A = this chain, B = another copy of it.
Amino acid sequence: MANKTIEDYLKAIYQVDVDQDGAGTTELAERLGIAPASVTGMLKKLAAQDLVTYTRYQGVGLTNAGRAIALDVLRRHRLAERYLADVLGLPWDRVHDEAEEWEHVLSDDVAARMDAALGWPSTDPHGEPIPSARGDVPPLADTPLARLRPRHTARVARVSSEDAEFLRYLGSMGIYPHVALTVLTIAPFGGPLTIEVSGQCHAIGQGVAERIFVVDISPLPAAEEPA
């Protein structure tokens, strides 16, 4: 495998690049906690190793080789998170930081054993999909809670955050993957939405609702929604 630094870069590029097309130097720098100038230098190096495609001022993308490594790291990371949570009982707001180290250290064999011990799970404790050993990632079929209409009920699919405090906040409301919730009201002009989670009502901000991804499970799918 590559070294820790390279793995971190490739993973970051993958994650920035997932939705967008091509990752920007500054965004990468922020994610990695590194100065933009330093990132430029490293990108040249990664390009020389054919792990990324890099054109000055144009951003980076992963080559197949680079993507393979990135997915491998991501797989280890999420597998480790799941393991730490399910087997060692670590709370979900602490698994990320720990896994950040484990991802660089797990051998293929140990990762495979952890995978088997867990029963080949498909997601990490935050609901993020665990890439397969072959590097396949199931497509996501969820939408941000913020996009749900009032009266709709949905199941939490995943929570897109690594911030421990944020995760504890969600936990305090009982919001975890697989939990069902219902949108009661949505205040206009980017105002808060009120939701019901396991019998309790909460008001949450738009920003929060943007990071919670759900799958609508309302009984009346199409008719309910006027075009």
Chain A residues with CB under 8 Å of chain B are 84, 87-90, 94, 98, 101-102, 104-105, 107, 109-110, 113-114, 117
Contact = CB atoms under 8 A, between A and B. Distances in A.
Contact of A110 (B88, B110, B113, B114): B88
B98 A113 contact: no
A107 B117 contact: no
B110 A98 contact: yes
A101 B117 CA distance: 21
Sort A-B residue pairs by CB-CB distance and give the 3 closest, nearest first: A101-B105, A88-B113, A105-B105
A114 B83 CA distance: 12
A87 B89 CA distance: 15
17 contacts: A84-B110, A87-B117, A88-B110, A88-B113, A88-B114, A88-B117, A89-B113, A90-B109, A90-B110, A90-B113, A94-B109, A98-B107, A98-B110, A101-B105, A102-B105, A104-B105, A105-B105
Contacts of A98: 107, 110
Contacts of A90: 109-110, 113
A86 to B, nearest CB: 12
A114 B89 CA distance: 10
A113 B90 CA distance: 9
Nearest to A113: B88
A94 B113 CA distance: 14
Given A88-B114, A88-B117, A104-B105, 14 more contacts: A84-B110, A87-B117, A88-B110, A88-B113, A89-B113, A90-B109, A90-B110, A90-B113, A94-B109, A98-B107, A98-B110, A101-B105, A102-B105, A105-B105
